[in-house]
Amino acid sequence: MEKLKWKILKSEVLFNDLWFTVRKDTCEKSDGSIISPYYVYEFPDWVTALALDKEGKVIMVRQYRHALGEVCLEIPGGCIDPEDKNPEHAIARELKEETGYEFETFHYLGKISANPSTNNNIMHMFLATGGVRTSSQELDDNEEILIEKYSIEELKEFIKKNEILQAMHVTTIIYGLSKINELKF
């Protein structure tokens, strides 16, 4: 498999701001051919969670997503900050900031990539259980988030009706439902 990896001959940063960098690479394939330009979008790694409160209700968020121009129903999550010790610390922080909830347990569900052909980062997926609201939201300046709670059955209906647009959130939900035996493969 190592044979398939490309060698980076040259890399140039075209844009770098806050949480997004665009890089232009010149690469050499294993057969010696050159690929140029190859654009890479650099982001911090992300975290997200299927979050359940103590009563088993799913904690979801609704927020405006400017790139789509739509208000979307999602599960909580965000970027791993440099101060975060690990992905679990990051999701605990994000859940508290976005929802005001703290959780008894976190189950790591794995990692996925939004688009490994262009994006360099991954999303860590969690199932958070035993949530209790302990504070108000602590939102970033660019966030305006409504907190909503649903049953597992209502969540399944959202999936069936394609009402959750964020594909990586749908993936996290599917892995989370499988973990709690609400979805069989």
Decide if 102 contacts 96 (C-beta within 8 A).
yes
Question: Residue 169: what are its φ and ψ, rounded to 5°?
Answer: -70, -40
β-sheet bridge partners, residue 158 = none
CA distances from 163 to 46, 56, 128 (A): 22, 21, 22
Torsion 66-69-71-74 (CA) sign: negative
- Cα 129 from Cα 123, distance rounded (Å): 19
Q: What is the pTM of this model?
A: 0.93
Tens of pLDDT, residue by residue, the chain (185 residues): 788 999 999 999 999 998 899 999 999 999 999 999 999 999 999 999 999 999 999 999 999 999 999 999 999 999 999 999 999 999 999 999 999 999 999 999 999 999 999 999 999 999 999 999 999 999 888 889 999 999 999 999 999 999 999 999 999 999 999 999 998 77
Domain boundaries, the chain: 2-42, 46-179
For 94-105, letters b (16+ CB in 10 Å) and e give bbbbbbbbebee
Using alpha carbons, select from 107, 109, 111, 129 the residue that is nearest to residue 58.
129
CA distances from 57 to 50, 52, 74 (A): 10, 5, 14
Question: Residue 51: what are its φ and ψ, rounded to 5°?
Answer: -110, 125
**What's the CATH architecture for 46-179?**
Alpha-Beta Complex (3.90)
